[in-house]
């Protein structure tokens, strides 16, 4: 990969982006970010010096860069076996709690959030749940709040995943209970019952500040840490640990895991990590 364009490298570009915007991508892993910056330059016919100039001058271009750097791929009940495990083994253990606090960190366009709300509803626990969902991408959050997804390409997959998760479930549940499907308009729309409980908030996981003061029973952070270097991953997992109740759980993606130190602080089962005790680690 050609790293040098104009007179500056990608790493230097990320430093400029950090200086002149609220965003710091310096600790993202190199491969994916290099590819994305190359694409931004190609699509906008800019060399590196021009890219830097535009980034310094134009805040709306900065937002476009952020949207272009972040990867928003997601789906309803992504990795259905994990959702089945959550349905049968994890969520029922929270049944006695008076309130259940959930944080989806890096929620993208919301499919993960709606998936979990459906599980909660099936177990009659949705009412007492408080759900926060955050992402760095305002565009993804707007789509999440709207709760509308393209029918084409998605419907078959969403339906297959849905049926896989609920194939052994005790009550009869139908995709149409939660979604309005309009093939003619090419739309799958989330029904109001779910949408009205959501709370989508813009938040950057790289920053230390939290957008809320709650402690959580469950934190989802699936397919997000994979884009960060090890040191940033550790700081974020530390924050999740601090913000979980004892025995609270963190759910990661299938290509993610914990480094040695954190392995002693969470008990792993499937891709679900339960907090085992309290500790604080200074960096
Ligand atoms: C691949 S998607 C994962 C979506 C969902 N969790 C899933 O597994 O289906 C990664 C999401 O992380 C978000 N993201 C990337 N960097 C972030 C940051 N610093 N803070 C918050 N969200 C971030 C992206 O905008 C994107 O929506």
**pLDDT tens string 129-157:** 999 999 999 999 999 999 999 999 999 99
Ligand 1 centroid from CA 72, angstroms: 6
Interval 32-64: pLDDT, tens: 888 999 999 999 999 999 999 999 999 999 999
Residue 48 Cβ < 6 Å to ligand 1: no
Q: Which amino acid residue places its CA nearest to atom 3 of ligand 1? A: 223
Q: Which atom of ligand 1 is nearest to the CA of 228?
A: 16
- CATH of the structural domain 80-147+191-275, one choice from 3.40.50.12780, 3.30.830.10, 3.40.50.150, 3.90.190.20: 3.40.50.150
d(CA 282, CA 173): 47
Buried (b) or exposed (e) across 204-243, using 16+ Cβ within 10 A? ebbeeeeeeeeebbbbbbbbbbbbbeeebbbbbbbebbeb
Q: What is the mean pLDDT of the chain?
A: 93
Q: Which is it for strands 148-150 and 187-190: parallel, antiparallel or unpaired?
A: antiparallel
Q: Give distance in angstroms: CA of 190 to centre of ligand 1.
A: 21
Instruction: Locate the DSSP E strands across the chain.
Output: 4-5, 8-9, 100-105, 129-135, 148-150, 179-182, 187-190, 200-202, 216-221, 244-252, 266-269, 272-275
Query: Domain extents for the chain?
Result: 4-69, 80-147+191-275
CA 172 from chain center: how many Å?
A: 29
Q: Note the pTM of the prediction, 2 decimals.
A: 0.94
């Amino acid at each position: 990969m050609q790293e040098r364009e104009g007179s500056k490298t990608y790493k230097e570009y990320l430093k400029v982006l950090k200086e002149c915007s609220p965003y710091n991508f310096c600790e993202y892993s190199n491969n994916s970010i290099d590819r994305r910056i190359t694409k931004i330059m190609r699509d906008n016919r800019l060399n590196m010096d021009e890219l830097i100039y535009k980034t310094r001058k134009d805040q709306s271009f900065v937002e476009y860069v952020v949207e272009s750097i972040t990867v928003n791929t997601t789906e309803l009940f992504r990795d259905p076996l994990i959702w089945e495990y959550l349905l049968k083994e994890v969520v029922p253990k929270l049944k006695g709690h008076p309130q259940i606090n959930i944080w989806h960190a890096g929620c993208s366009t919301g499919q993960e959030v709606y998936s979990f709300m459906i599980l909660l509803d099936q177990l009659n626990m949705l009412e007492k749940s408080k759900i926060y969902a955050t992402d760095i991408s305002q565009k993804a959050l707007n789509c999440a709040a709207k709760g509308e997804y393209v029918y084409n390409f998605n419907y078959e997959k969403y339906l297959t995943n849905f049926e896989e998760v609920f194939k052994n479930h005790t009550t009869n549940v139908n995709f149409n209970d939660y979604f309005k499907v309009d093939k003619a308009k090419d739309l799958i729309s989330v029904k109001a019952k779910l949408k009205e409980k959501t709370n989508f908030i813009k938040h950057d996981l790289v920053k230390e500040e939290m957008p809320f003061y709650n402690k959580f029973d469950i934190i989802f952070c699936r397919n997000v840490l994979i884009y960060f270097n090890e040191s940033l991953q550790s700081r974020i997992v530390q924050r999740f640990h601090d913000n979980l109740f004892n025995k609270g759980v963190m759910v990661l993606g299938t290509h993610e895991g914990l480094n040695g130190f954190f392995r002693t602080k969470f008990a792993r089962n499937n891709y679900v990590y339960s907090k085992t005790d309290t500790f604080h680690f200074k960096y």
